[in-house]
Amino acid sequence: MTTTGDNRTEHIARLGDRSLFPALDARAYLNHAAVSPPSLAVREAVRGWLDDYGRCGVDAFLAWNDRRLALRQTLAGLIGAQASDLALIASATTGVIDIALCLPWQRGDRIIGFRGEFPANVTPWQRAAELYQLDMTLLSLDPFMRSHAEGLAVLDGELGRGARLVAVSAVQFQTGLRMPLADMAALCHRHGAELFVDAIQACGAVPIDVVAEGIDYLTCGGHKWLMGVEGTGFLYIAPHRINALTPHLAGWLSHEDAVAFLGEGPGHLHYDRPLKRDSTRFEIGSFNGAGFAALHAAVDLIASIGVPAIYRHVNAYLDPLETALNERGFRSLRASDPAARSAQLGVLPPPEFDVLDIHRALTRRKISCAIPDGVLRFAPHWPNHADEVDVIVAALDEALAELRHC
C-alpha cells in the first residue's frame, strides 16, 4: 500500500498476502465461491463514492460514470471481449433473465441444461419454456465428471436431436468441475445452437476468453471471484448475436443518446430514439453506483495480478489440501484432469460423519467454508497463503476427534 501525490491510497495485491483484509476474522477464508469479503481498496472506493456524492450531489455523476465506463473496459479485458459487448447489470441472474426472455424463440424450440446447476441458470430457462412453449431438457453432469470426452459425446447426441440453446455454468458450484466451453460452443454451432454461460464461479480466478472459446452469451455477478459486492454484475453478448434479440426488456437508458434531453436544452425529449445496437442496450436504468465503484477497485486488483497467475496459485494451494483430506477418508470431487479443475475443492465426508457437524466444527475454529447441498467446499483466492493449509488440516483433525467422542 502506497500513497500517491494527491493523497489517494494505492493498494497493491500480492498472491498469498491478505494484508488488504485487516478486518477479516477467519483464520482461513475459503468462501470466495459464496461471497468475497471487501478489501481495503473496495471499502475505500465505496467511501470515496459516498463522499463525492455527499459533497457534489448530481455533479458527481459524470466523474463516476467515466469510471464505470473504465470498469466495463477492465471487465472486457478479463474475458477477451470488447467493452461495447458488455452491459453492466445487477447480478448474474439478471443476465440469464435478459437472454431467456429476449431470444427470438419459436414454439417447440429446445433448451438443454444440466442437473446440478445452480438454480440461477435453470429457473429463468424454465420460465422461458413455459412462456414461449419450449422444450427443456436437463442432462446429467456425471459423464463430464468422468471425462470431458464422454460428456461431449453425450451432448453431441442430444444436440443431434435439435436444440436452440445450451445453458451451462463455466464451473459447477458444488464440485468445482470446469466445463469444456470451447468444445461445447463448437458442438453447439455445428448443430445450429448457441451457448449461454453462467461464469459467476469462474471469472476472476479461472481463465475465460469468450472470443477464442466461441461463447455466445456470458453472465457474471460481482460478489464472488471478482471480489466486489452484491448487486453488481455484467452480461456479455457476442456482437453477431445482439441484433437477433427481441427487446422485450428495455428501459429509458436503452435508447441511443438517452440522456440528451437532460442537458441540451429544449426539444430533445423523444420516445422514438432507436435502441442501442450493442450489449449496453441491457443497461436499462439507474445503476448501483456504489456497487460498481467497489467492483472497479476489486477487479483492478485482480487484473494487476492476472487471472492465469491466480488460477495457478489457487490450484497449488488446493493440491496439498486435497491430499490431506483424502488421507482422512474424505472423497474428493475435484477432477483428476487438470483441465477440468477450477479454483475450488468439493469433498464428501467419511460415512461416519455428518457434513453439517463438520461444517459447524470448522466454523467454530474460524475456518470459513461452505456446504452447498451437502458438499464440503473450499474456495480460496489470491489472498490465501499456502501456510493456511496446515491450519485447516489441524482444525479438521481437532473437529473429527471432537465429533468421534460426541
User: Which pLDDT score is estimated for 147?
Assistant: 97
Specify the pTM: 0.95
Q: By the 8 A CB rule, do 74 and 270 touch?
A: no
> Over the stretch 121-132, which tens digit does the pLDDT of each residue have?
999 999 999 999
User: Which pLDDT score is estimated for 39?
Assistant: 98
| 24-43 mean pLDDT | 98
**Type and span of the H or E element at 318:** helix 307-327
User: Which pLDDT score is estimated for 7?
Assistant: 47
Residue type, 151: G
**Among residues of the chain, what percentage have pLDDT more than 70?**
98
Question: How many CB atoms neighbour CB 86 within 10 A?
Answer: 26
> Over the stretch 285-327, which tens digit does the pLDDT of each residue have?
888 999 999 999 999 999 999 999 999 999 999 999 999 999 9
User: Which pLDDT score is estimated for 327?
Assistant: 98
User: Which pLDDT score is estimated for 330?
Assistant: 98
User: Which pLDDT score is estimated for 14?
Assistant: 98
> Over the stretch 266-284, which tens digit does the pLDDT of each residue have?
888 989 899 989 898 998 8
| 258-272 mean pLDDT | 86
Beta strands in 115-192 (DSSP E): 135-139, 165-169
User: Which pLDDT score is estimated for 38?
Assistant: 97
| Alpha-carbon gap, residue 36 to 383, rounded angstroms | 11
Buried b (16+ CB within 10 A) or exposed e, 327-346: eeebebbbbeeeebbbbbbb
| 328-345 mean pLDDT | 97
| Alpha-carbon gap, residue 335 to 345, rounded angstroms | 9
> Over the stretch 45-55, which tens digit does the pLDDT of each residue have?
999 999 999 99
Confidence band of 4 (pLDDT split at 50, 70, 90): very low
Q: Which three cell numbers stand for residue 48?
A: 470515496
Report the half-sphere exposure of 165 (CA within 13 A, side-chain side). Answer: 30
Q: Give the three-class secondary structure for 166.
A: strand
pLDDT of 6 > 50? The answer is no
Give DSSP secondary structure letters for 178-243.
BP-HHHHHHHHHHTT-EEEEE-TTTTTTS---TTTTT-SEEEEESSSTT---SS-EEEEE-TTTGG
User: Which pLDDT score is estimated for 405?
Assistant: 86
Q: Which domains does the chain have, with CATH numbers?
A: 65-302 (3.40.640.10), 307-404 (3.90.1150.10)
DSSP state of 383: T
> Over the stretch 77-120, which tens digit does the pLDDT of each residue have?
999 999 999 999 999 999 999 999 999 999 999 999 999 999 99
Q: By the 8 A CB rule, do 241 and 206 touch?
A: no
Confidence band of 8 (pLDDT split at 50, 70, 90): low
* Length of the chain counted residue by residue: 406
What mean pLDDT, rounded, does the chain reach?
A: 95
User: Which pLDDT score is estimated for 244?
Assistant: 95
**Helix, strand, coil percentages in the chain from 3-state DSSP, rounded to 5:** 45, 15, 40
Q: Give the three-class secondary structure for 112.
A: strand
Question: How many CB atoms neighbour CB 113 within 10 A?
Answer: 21
> Over the stretch 365-390, which tens digit does the pLDDT of each residue have?
999 999 999 999 999 999 999 999 99
